[in-house]
Structure 1
Amino acid sequence: MTPPLDAERCYRAVAGRDARFDGWFFTAVHTTGIYCRPSCPARTPLARNVTFFTTAAAAEGGGFRACRRCRPDAVPGSPEWDVRADVVARAMRLIADGEVERSGVPGLSARLGYSERQLHRLLVGELGVGPLALARAQRARTARVLIETTDLPMADVAFAAGFASIRQFNDTVREVFAGTPRSCAARDGPATAGRPGG
């Protein structure tokens, strides 16, 4: 016989969105009629509004339906189950596409259906850095490609790569590539002609 669930411990896992408990229990929310995994990104329900079940089937038997965000009814090991990796992959695609430059971290988070804090924690947990650092590295890589493959003046490279200012461009390239934008140029020529101050 399955031992009864410790409601207090379960609730702590839900409040911390602890993915280690996914599959061990399910949280049914009386006010919404939905059941979720402990790691669900939805707002944490009040303790008085939840019941914990040991299986998805038991939650469904209790009249609850599966959450569409965290897919608690998915099979462990399936792509639907690993929502965390999926969100990180989608975040990386949006960052590469310039979402942070267009709408900032709030816009990126909104597109993914997460709060800024949740998204930051997710990216740091999976990749070691947050969305701003990822966007910065992406801008630096784009700038380097433009420097090495085009004859654009450095000011044009900076803005084409998504930098807000020439100074930000210079500082980032110096930090990421340990050299000035000019030193990244594959050749001397028109690409260095418009190089901003220093």
Structure 2
Amino acid sequence: MKAKHFITTPEGELHFPNLFEPEEFMNKRHYSARIVFHVPKGDKSLHPIVNCIRDAAKDQWGADTPASLKAKLPLKWDDEREQYFITARRTAKIGPPTIFDAQNKPITQDDEHVMYPGCRVRMYLRAHAYDYPGSQGVALLLESVQRLGDGEPIGVATVDPDKMFGPAEQNDGSHTPPDDDPFPF
């Protein structure tokens, strides 16, 4: 039996949370979330994650770890944003991941609003090496998420309606379209 490889990530930023309702991915239903680390490329704080991935690969392939595996590692660097990220999934058959607050009290679906994109989290992940015909790699599977605190909400724009629209013109009903309307529907 292969060893199980678990890792608790450092604090990061939650992105794309699907923690309470599964989503469709590759014809299967999964719970998922992404954690983003705003650290410089090569930062040593992420080495335990890399070591966990390597250990899972060594257990699967030994010294014969496929060279092509480097392109499929679950810890990825985004050159454009200069940040690392992990997208972790959990099959819906197993059920949702456990979710806790900073005092390790459960967060339920009734409180899912606190798990918004941008909040501060840690994840507990399991490294799983897979070897299917035509596909080899190591995935980080989502076990648990711990909410550590608030962060800057992502995708929530502050809007100023005066800049966007200006004042509305009052329509007294006297405006009628011209007879030569270019859009005669």
User: Which bracket does the TM-score occupy, shorter chain normalised?
Assistant: under 0.3
Give the TM-score taking structure 2 as reference length.
0.23
- Kindly indicate whether structure 1 or structure 2 has the higher relative contact order, using CA contacts under 8 Å at least 6 residues apart: 2
Give the TM-score taking structure 1 as reference length.
0.22
Structure showing the higher helix proportion among its residues: 1
